[in-house]
Every structure is written in structure tokens, then in C-alpha cells.
Amino acid sequence: MPRVSDRQRIAQDIRDKIASGEYSPGDKLPSLREMIAHYEVSAEPVRSALLILQAEGLIEGHQGKGTYVTPRKPTS
């Protein structure tokens, strides 16, 4: 079985936390430093995971304020 990269593992964990409601729309995610300690990785995989989630529209970063879960878009 292929090994899952750290960035994929981190992105999936955050996706799961959003889906389960642990992180709700508008919630601030932990800081980069907190995520580095929690996932026991360097900054690069955390940043890469956050970029993936931003591209998917699940989170948005605000310079100097942090990263937040985006509001859910109504489904039609």
C-alpha cells in the first residue's frame, strides 16, 4: 500500500474535523506552530496541506489574523 504523504494526511485530518463539526464554519484553526507540534512535522507539510484545503474552498487565510473554516455554501 502506498504511503500517504504528511501533507495529504494533515489535509485529510482537517477535512475530517470540518466534516464532523469539530471545526465549524468561522472557527479559527490552530496556529502553524501548534499544527507543527501536533502533527510532528516541519512547517512545509502543514503549509502545503493548508494550501490544498484553501484550493478546495474549505478554509481561508487572513494575513496576520489566522486561518478560518469557510462558511458552508448552500446546496441547491
pLDDT tens, 16-43?
Answer: 999 999 999 999 999 999 999 999 999 9
Residue ranges of domains in the chain, CATH in brackets: 6-69 (1.10.10.10)
Tens of pLDDT, residues 46-72: 999 999 999 999 999 988 899 999 997
Dihedral of CA atoms 74, 68, 17, 58 in degrees, nearest 10, equals 50
Q: Do the Cβ atoms of 67 and 29 come closer than 8 Å?
A: yes
Q: Is 59 helix (H, G, I), strand (E, B) or coil?
A: strand
pTM of the model: 0.88
Distance CA 59, CA 31 (A): 13
